[in-house]
Amino acid sequence: MKMQESAQDYLESILILSKRHDVVRATDVCNYFGYARATVSVFMKQLKENGYVDIDDRNHITLTPEGLAIAEEMYERHEFLSALFLKLGVSEDIALKDACRVEHYVSNETFQAIKKFCKEHGIGDNNE
C-alpha cells in the first residue's frame, strides 16, 4: 500500500500517543506535532474516511487494524533506524531526523535486508 508520508506520520503519532495515554484526542496530536487544531482536524477526517482511524462520540481516536499495521511498521522502522544511526556514531538529533525521513522511503525489501545484516553481524541487538 502506498500512502503519503504525512499520513504515515499521523498514524505513527497516534500509536505513540496511545502508548503514553489511555485515550488519544486531536489535541494530543496537535501538541505532538505543534500543529494547529484545524490542520489536525482536517487530516483526522481524511484518515477516518479512508478507514485508518475511528473517532468516537467523545472524539477519542483509535487506529483501525489497517491503520495500526501501518503505524506499527513506521514505528518499527523509526526505532530500528534511529538505533542503527546512533550506533554508527551519528549525533542523536541528526539520527532521529534522518530515521524519520528514511523510514518512509526505504523499500520493505531493503529494510528487511538491513535488519538481517545487522542481526547477522550483532549490530544493534544488545549482544555487542
pLDDT score of 126 more than 50: no
pLDDT score of 40 more than 70: yes
- In three-state secondary structure terms, 81 is helix
* pLDDT level of residue 37 (50, 70, 90 thresholds): very high
* CA–CA separation, 45 and 43 (whole Å): 5
> Which pLDDT score, from 0 to 100, does residue 4 have?
87
Cell readout for 32 is 505532538
57: CB partners within 8 A, 6+ apart: none
93-116 mean pLDDT? 95
* pLDDT level of residue 64 (50, 70, 90 thresholds): very high
> Which pLDDT score, from 0 to 100, does residue 23 have?
96
- In three-state secondary structure terms, 61 is strand
Cell readout for 7 is 499520513
- In three-state secondary structure terms, 11 is helix
Which residue's C-alpha cell is 538481517? 116
- Where does CATH 1.10.60.10 sit in the chain? 74-120
Q: How far is CA 75 from the centre of its chain?
A: 4
Q: Average pLDDT over the chain, rounded to whole?
A: 92
H or E element in which residue 55 lies: strand 53-55
Fold of 5-69: Arc Repressor Mutant, subunit A (1.10.10)
- Counting residues of the chain whose pLDDT is more than 90, the rounded percentage is 90
* CATH of the structural domain 74-120, one choice from 3.40.50.300, 3.40.470.10, 1.10.60.10, 3.30.70.1880: 1.10.60.10
pLDDT score of 1 more than 70: no
Window from 9-18, 91-100, 116-125 with minimum mean pLDDT: 116-125
Q: How far is CA 100 from the centre of its chain?
A: 8
91-113 mean pLDDT? 95
78-99 mean pLDDT? 95
Give the DSSP letter of residue 57: T
